[in-house]
Amino acid sequence: MGEAELQQLIAGCLNHSRKDQKMLYKAFYGFAMSICLRYAGNRYEAAEIMNQGFLKVFTNLQKYDTSRPFIAWVGRIMMNTSVDYYRSNLKLSLNDDLDAAEDIGHNELPDQKLNYDDLIAMVQQLPNAYRTVFNLFAIEGFSHEEIATKLGISTGTSKSNLFKAREKLKNMVINSGRLPDTSAGNAQHTIVAIGAISISISVLIELIMK
Amino acid sequence: MKEKSENKLDQLFRDGISGAEDHIAFREEDWASMEQLLDKKSNRKAGVFRIVYFAAGIAALLLLAIGLYFYTDNNNKIDPTNTNLNSKNTKGQSAKDKIQPVKSANTPAAQLPVNSDSLGNTPAQNSSNSAQGSSTTSGLTKQQYAVNTPYSGLPSTDQHGLKVRASDNGENKPADNSPVNNNKVLPLIAAIVDTVGNKNKPGVDNVGSKVQNNIAANTTPPDTVTDQLTAQEKKQMLAVKTAVIKNRPQFSISVLAASDANAVNSFGHSQTGTNYGVQLSLKLTRKLTVSTGAAYAIKPYSTSPGSYSSAYPQSVYTTNIQANCKVLDIPLNVSYQVYSKGNNAISLGSGVSSYFMLRENYRYDYTQDSGLDPKYIEIKNQNKHLFGVLNINANYQRRINSRFSAVVQPYMKLPLTGIGNGKVDLKSTGVALGINWNIGSAFGAK
């Protein structure tokens, strides 16, 4: 998209033109989504975060400094929204996995080529706390001090989360070469899900009976 | 070695993940939910205005209530006094003349403790205390209350009768006062005890006469006072007395249970919740009551994703959100009695509630073609809404006996802010049933 075209779209969005908003949204959709996808646990969460981010873009458009690249501004908003989202939902996330520190003997990564979908799926499998730190450190290039301030955690927690994230990812990368043997895991998940649903339903029924 | 391998891992992901824009196809449904967000944003301004309206409404109600408070207060004070004074002037002129000097002579504060002593203690203690000439200071506030009531029309009120007598006692107590007359004090105290004891009983007529007798006994020519008090005067004294008592703040406790309909936005799809609570009421005047309390409420409701503004884990595929919230509700209400006849009383009230969300459970349902299972979320003690809910209620009370009455209270709770994790517009309306226990006056009318 040309610079003039972009300025025209921004001007249209400032006038709350829904058509221009959609054009801008569409133009930056892929870029914004690529950021949100790696911070989120799945595609739906990512879309939620991205829309919250775009809402900030649309409502704060008059604050955008036109001397700087627009895409960088959007990217920063998406990242901050992702971090905020993670922070506000901290109470809902898995904070820790005790087996995360388990040591595996293979330090070397396989040479096989992993595509984008595989990699993003691996990142998304990380617990929220690990994923956020890994993104901020490994992808965005922040220091542990900066991450600690951003997330309101200690640098020690940041380092430990990064370590655990790497361990888990390495594990996944190494195992990705093998034949997937996930049927047992799936069965486990199903059992846990059925258990949770039945407990919730019994609680609901109890409440209704009350 | 390990460091190197970790960096390699970071690099693998950095390279593999970045530049992925082209992998991601635009989805129309994401824009649809984006539009919803944008629409909601413009509605938010209207929400702010709504809060302003509600706030203005509450302010107006409070002003009205305060105004009524002062208005009724003045009426109660002035009317009986005037009539009393008039009757005094025509009939009991000499009695008034006789009493007044005594009273003014007795006003010094040093005499108060003695009087309060006789008010606050049991008959036995009173007589022994006074016989020994000891002066304790307990119950000083009660006495101060009596002293602070307006002067007009007072000689005849019970309190002032007491005051006169008590101050007589006071005169007897200090060592520098010449005639310490125990004979005089003893029967006097007995009489006080009598009047105090009778005050809450139906046969209040005695009080007046006793007061008069006491005054008579202690002012110098006793006969002139008693003789000139007519039956009519006594009645008026009673009127003043009851007015004064009714003006005293009275406490009562209600235990209430309610069943209500909870719904978001409109009551079209409401679900039934339950509430249990206690309510402490302070009756400021005959008509005006301030009440607060605590209620434990279970509020189930279901909402569409459009009304629910927290993101997680909502998506464009969300069809319905089923919620069940346990709420601690702390209300602060003002109510005004609009009708009172016999045993029945009706009052209307308004105020604000603070919601403390103890536990919120949510279930998210998704469309079938999304292939997503329902998701459950529980949030504990995360959200509180201080003065976030407007209360409107009507209150019907039917007296069972002097202490207890049955209460029926239809009410409506309208949120001024978004409630809970989803910031929903959660309304409740229902009827509370309960028992009200009238504890009595804070200033010891007993």
pLDDT of residue B52: 65
Identify whether residues B79 and B155 lie together within a single domain.
yes
* CB-based contact, A123 to chain B, within 8 Å: yes
Q: Which residues pair with B394 in a beta bridge?
A: B348
pLDDT of residue A209: 77
Of A146 and B192, the structure prediction assigns the larger pLDDT to: A146
**Number of C-beta neighbours around residue A169 at 10 A:** 25
- What whole-number distance in Å separates Cα of residue B41 and Cα of residue A96? 36
Identify whether residues B232 and B264 lie together within a single domain.
no
- What whole-number distance in Å separates Cα of residue A85 and Cα of residue B159? 67
Instruction: Report the percentage of chain B scoring pLDDT > 70.
Output: 48
Q: What is the chain B residue with the closest CA to A25?
A: B31
Q: Quick check: is B417 in a domain?
A: yes
Nearest-by-Cβ selection for A91 from B34, B314, B382: B382
Identify whether residues B224 and B261 lie together within a single domain.
no
CB contact under 8 A, A114 and B314: no
B40–chain A nearest CA distance, Å: 11
Of B355 and A179, the structure prediction assigns the larger pLDDT to: B355
pLDDT tens figures, B103-114: 444 444 444 444
Among B2, B3, B24, most A C-beta atoms within 10 A, so best to mutate, is B24
Q: Quick check: is B44 in a domain?
A: no
- What whole-number distance in Å separates Cα of residue B147 and Cα of residue B109? 10
The stretch B60-74 carries a mean pLDDT of 66
Q: What is the chain B residue with the closest CA to A123?
A: B13
pLDDT of A50 strictly over 90: yes
Residues of chain B in contact with residue A115, where contact means CB-CB under 8 angstroms, are: 16
Q: Say how many CA atoms lie within 13 Å of A186 toward its Cβ.
A: 4
Of B292 and B205, the structure prediction assigns the larger pLDDT to: B292
Q: Quick check: is B399 in a domain?
A: yes
The stretch B409-429 carries a mean pLDDT of 87
CB contact under 8 A, A34 and B34: no
CB contact under 8 A, A34 and B315: no
Of B183 and A175, the structure prediction assigns the larger pLDDT to: A175
pLDDT of residue B250: 80
Give the lowest-confidence range in A18-22, A182-186, B305-309: A182-186
Give the lowest-confidence range in A42-51, B207-216, B231-240, B268-277: B207-216
Among B6, B299, B381, most A C-beta atoms within 10 A, so best to mutate, is B6
Instruction: Place B13 in a pLDDT band, splitting at 50, 70 and 90.
Output: confident
CB contact under 8 A, A45 and B10: no
B21–chain A nearest CA distance, Å: 4
Q: Which CA distances in Å does A17 have to A20, A21, A55, B27?
A: 5, 6, 14, 20
- What whole-number distance in Å separates Cα of residue B136 and Cα of residue B114? 7
Q: Cα-atom radius of gyration of chain B, to the nearest Å?
A: 34
> Of all helices (H) and strands (E), which one includes residue B188?
helix B182-198
∠A22-B49-B51 over CA atoms, to 5°? Answer: 120
Taking only residues 16 to 45 of chain B, the set having a beta carbon closer than 8 angstroms to any beta carbon of chain A reads 16-18, 20-27, 30-31, 33-35, 37-38, 41
Q: Quick check: is B233 in a domain?
A: yes
pLDDT of residue A77: 93
Identify whether residues B346 and B235 lie together within a single domain.
no
pLDDT of residue B139: 41
- When the pLDDT of each residue in chain B is averaged and rounded to a whole number, the result is 67
User: What SS3 class is residue B47?
Assistant: helix
Distance of CA A24 to the CA centre of its chain: 22
Of A207 and A101, the structure prediction assigns the larger pLDDT to: A207
pLDDT of residue B210: 47
Nearest-by-Cβ selection for B30 from A51, A120, A123: A51
Spatial contact of A23 and B15, defined as CB atoms under 8 Å apart = no
Residues of chain A in contact with residue B300, where contact means CB-CB under 8 angstroms, are: 207
Identify whether residues B406 and B260 lie together within a single domain.
yes
Question: Tell me, what CATH number does B386's domain have?
Answer: 2.40.160.20
**Number of C-beta neighbours around residue A151 at 10 A:** 19
User: What SS3 class is residue B152?
Assistant: coil
Domain boundary among B188, B222, B247: B247
Q: Quick check: is B305 in a domain?
A: yes
Identify whether residues B239 and B125 lie together within a single domain.
yes
Q: Would you state the structure tokens that stand for residue A53, as one six-digit string? A: 């981010």
Spatial contact of A32 and A74, defined as CB atoms under 8 Å apart = yes
Identify whether residues B195 and B254 lie together within a single domain.
no
Identify whether residues B273 and B138 lie together within a single domain.
no
CB contact under 8 A, B1 and A119: no
pLDDT of residue B84: 45
CB contact under 8 A, B373 and A210: no
Domain hosting residue B274, numbered range: 248-441
Residues of chain A in contact with residue B373, where contact means CB-CB under 8 angstroms, are: 193
Residues of chain A in contact with residue B14, where contact means CB-CB under 8 angstroms, are: 138-139
User: What SS3 class is residue B360?
Assistant: strand
- What whole-number distance in Å separates Cα of residue B405 and Cα of residue B252? 10
Q: Quick check: is B41 in a domain?
A: no
Of A70 and B367, the structure prediction assigns the larger pLDDT to: A70
Identify whether residues B405 and B276 lie together within a single domain.
yes
pLDDT of residue B348: 92
Give the lowest-confidence range in B14-28, B266-280, B379-393, B412-426: B14-28
pLDDT of residue B238: 60
Identify whether residues B204 and B308 lie together within a single domain.
no
CB contact under 8 A, A109 and B18: no
pLDDT of residue B303: 83
User: DSSP labels for chain A?
Assistant: --HHHHHHHHHHHHTT-HHHHHHHHHHHHHHHHHHHHHHSSSHHHHHHHHHHHHHHHHHTGGG--TTS-HHHHHHHHHHHHHHHHHHHTGGGS----GGGG---S--SPP-----HHHHHHHHHHS-HHHHHHHIIIIIS---HHHHHHHHT--HHHHHHHHHHHHHHHHHHHHHHTSPP--HHHHHHHHHHHHHHHHHHHHHHHHHHH-
pLDDT of B130 strictly over 60: no
Q: Quick check: is B32 in a domain?
A: no
Give the lowest-confidence range in B7-11, B293-297, B429-433: B7-11
Taking only residues 63 to 102 of chain A, the set having a beta carbon closer than 8 angstroms to any beta carbon of chain B reads 85, 88-89, 91-92
CB contact under 8 A, B2 and A207: no
B161–chain A nearest CA distance, Å: 58
* CB-based contact, B315 to chain A, within 8 Å: yes
Domain boundary among B247, B269, B289: B247
Domain boundary among B222, B247, B272: B247
CB contact under 8 A, B30 and A59: no
Residues of chain B in contact with residue A168, where contact means CB-CB under 8 angstroms, are: none
Identify whether residues B96 and B77 lie together within a single domain.
yes
Complex prediction ipTM: 0.74
CB contact under 8 A, A21 and B376: no
Of A70 and B139, the structure prediction assigns the larger pLDDT to: A70
Look at the pTM and tell me if it is higher than 0.80.
no
pLDDT tens figures, A179-201: 444 445 566 677 778 888 888 88
The stretch B278-290 carries a mean pLDDT of 87
Q: What is the chain B residue with the closest CA to A31?
A: B21
B162–chain A nearest CA distance, Å: 56
> Of all helices (H) and strands (E), which one includes residue B208?
helix B205-218
pLDDT of B411 strictly over 90: yes
Q: Quick check: is B414 in a domain?
A: yes
The domain total for chain B is 2
Identify whether residues B239 and B256 lie together within a single domain.
no
